[in-house]
Amino acid sequence: MNNHTELALNGVPVCDTFAEAFTTVGTRIIVTALTESWVRIAAAEITGYATSVIACDAEAGVEKYLSSAESPDGRPGVSLMFFAFGQSALEKAVTNRVGQCILTCPTTACYSGYSSKDPEKNIALGSQLRFFGDGFQVSKKWGDRRLWRVPVMDGEFVCEDQTGTFKGVAGGNLLICATDQKSGLLATEAAVAAMRQVDLTILPFPGGIVRSGSKVGSRYSKLKASTNDAYCPTLQAQTTSELPEGTGCVYEIVIDGAAFEPVQQAMQVGLHTVCQQPGVLQITAGNYGGKLGKHHFHLKDLIDAAPA
């Protein structure tokens, strides 16, 4: 059982602990298409296999979908965010993903979603992908921005030359302990739906939810991370469990964002939402003793005020 002094929200125990997150390099791009259906297909493709930098080239997800009035070219669109631990790694991941998943997708176009005043903080988009045009590509000025028009079989793929990067925050998290799998899933889904309304954040795991929470290290020397046995309900009799009595399921929500504040806001919205759901026994968060990540999100700070 965990030894944290417990707080409470709506009668649900909340551990007096914190989530520990890391500084990353992030970017945002805008993808548009002829229809909303193709926007969603493009978004699903480019953000696939992008849950954790433990094994993926980047952490990525949908920030929000855009109406025709909100998008750069008057078509349906989506704002996507990507995070990695270095600018060169981020550039490689983003250009590879745009090239394989957006260039290939019917009717799409790709624009920068973040402008950096420092040219050194820009990464390539169309400036690399233009070579697919085999010399037939055309450069186009758009105000003070540069676009590339690459001929493809359904017309042209329009792609902005570069996009800016920023210092992001990755790894805000909530751990939701519930009586059973169904109750836990419904409660966590409710929290995810509310958290997705917070701008400048993404939830990179499948459907925004993690079932395979991890700890640092493993008894197998080749693994950097392994199952978080302290939070596995089936191991309560075999390990030092951190679970309250009656726990049959634990789900985690991981949040990445453009800065500390939006990640904190998403965590607050998620905490207040999940503590209104039936079957929730306890909320806690994952950290490494404060020794690895510089960003600490204390759960007690999220209780005090209702989310904006």
Biggest CA pair distance of the chain: 66
pLDDT at res. 287: 92
Asked if residue 1 belongs to a domain, the reply is no
Query: Are 185 and 290 found together in one domain?
Result: yes
Give the pLDDT band (50/70/90) at residue 3: very low
Structure token digits, residue 34: 């002829």
Entry pTM: 0.94
**Helix 260-274 and helix 181-195: axis angle, to 10°?**
140
Asked if residue 308 belongs to a domain, the reply is no
Query: Are 132 and 204 found together in one domain?
Result: no
Name the amino acid, one letter, at 85.
Answer: F
Query: Are 132 and 227 found together in one domain?
Result: no
CA–CA gap between residue 281 and residue 9 (Å, rounded): 11
Give tens-digit pLDDT for 41-60: 999 999 999 999 989 999 99
User: Is residue 98 over pLDDT 80?
Assistant: yes
Give the pLDDT band (50/70/90) at residue 290: confident
Give tens-digit pLDDT for 257-286: 999 999 999 999 999 999 999 999 999 999
Residue that finishes a domain, picked among 145, 166, 187:
166
pLDDT at res. 100: 98
Give the pLDDT band (50/70/90) at residue 291: confident
pLDDT at res. 305: 67
Total number of domains constituting the chain: 2
Q: Residue 88, exposed/middle/buried by CB under 10 A (0-12, 13-18, 19+)?
A: exposed
Q: Could you tell me the residue range of the domain that residue 91 belongs to?
A: 24-166
Q: What percent of the chain has pLDDT over 70?
A: 97
Query: Are 239 and 144 found together in one domain?
Result: no
Residue that finishes a domain, picked among 166, 201, 224:
166
**Higher pLDDT among residues 2 and 218, named by residue:** 218
